[in-house]
Amino acid sequence: MTRHHPMTLVLGGTGKTGSRLVSRLTARDLPVRIGSRSGGLPFDWERPATWGPALDGVHAAYVSYYPDLAVPGAVEAVGAFAELAVARGVRRLVLLSGRGEDEALACERALATVAESGPGAGAGADWTVLRCSWFSQNFSEGYLLGPVLAGEVALPAGPVGEPFLDADDIADVAAAVLTEDGHAGRVYELTGPRLLTFAEATATIVEATGRPVRYARTSPEEYAAGLAAEQVPADVIAFLGYLFGTVLDGRNASVTDDVRRVLGRPARDFADFARAAAASGAWDGE
């Protein structure tokens, strides 16, 4: 007799954490639906008409909001999605959130409120929040890859430490929370095991790769001007300015043991990430 496993919807299923989560679930022969704008069943946060079809037959959902929970309109979108999801029978919602962002906190509240009450007289859903630190993979897969390859990481970030977090740890935690009991109503603050400044993180990459990469601290104005010269959209420039100017003010300069609490093992150190990324060829480009 074949056991039936419920469907999990992974929003952002082609992104840094979503793609890793999809791999972990499919490796366990669990049915997964990828929610992305380019997916076979498209999902677009800006097109609510795409939400319903993506939710058909879904029991659990990993909610990753694009581009970030801190942007205008995120609270309303996340709340509306949660309401539709619960009305469609989703019984477990896991939200990818950010540390130290007031807007992210508002999104967390919106999702939890809907999940706990349910739409109208309907049943509610379990919810869990994964409140995450800066991704280590931003240096190898994200917006800092180009600067590393170019030999200079120039950012408006000074001596404040950040507990860089490996996206593989996030995916492992998400897979556990989506498939195991005991995580309902929890907010997990996920961090790496130690604090590093962006300059120290860059130096760690140099040590792992042997590439001549320097860190240069720039002013917020210089940083914004540089992004504009590269034709980065104004809303993205404003968002990155917010992250470096507000979120990186020391409010997140602490580590937690929540990765170990969920997985029973410590979080991956940034140096281990850097060595593995270097061995994989992530920084072999010219």
Confidence of residue 285 (pLDDT cuts 50, 70, 90): confident
How many CA atoms lie less than 13 Å away from 15 in the CB half-sphere?
22
pLDDT over 80 at 123, yes or no: no
pLDDT over 70 at 144, yes or no: yes
Average pLDDT, stretch 74-84?
97
The sign of the dihedral angle between the CA atoms of 265, 30, 21, 59 is negative
Q: What is the value of pTM for the model shown?
A: 0.95
pLDDT over 50 at 275, yes or no: yes
Provide the H-helix boundaries in the chain: 16-27, 51-55, 74-87, 102-117, 145-150, 167-179, 198-209, 220-229, 234-242, 258-263, 270-280
Mean model confidence pLDDT for the chain: 94
What are the φ/ψ torsions at residue 178 (nearest 5 degrees)? Answer: -75, -25
Confidence of residue 1 (pLDDT cuts 50, 70, 90): very low
Distance of CA 217 to the CA centre of its chain: 25
Q: Which stretch of 93-102, 119-128, 173-182, 263-272 has the lowest confidence by average pLDDT?
A: 119-128
* Per-residue pLDDT tens over the stretch 176-197: 999 999 999 999 999 999 999 9
End-to-end CA distance of the chain: 54
The pLDDT score that the predictor gives to residue 157 is 95
The pLDDT score that the predictor gives to residue 188 is 98
How far apart (Å, rounded) are the C-alpha atoms in residues 180 and 162? 30
The pLDDT score that the predictor gives to residue 122 is 54
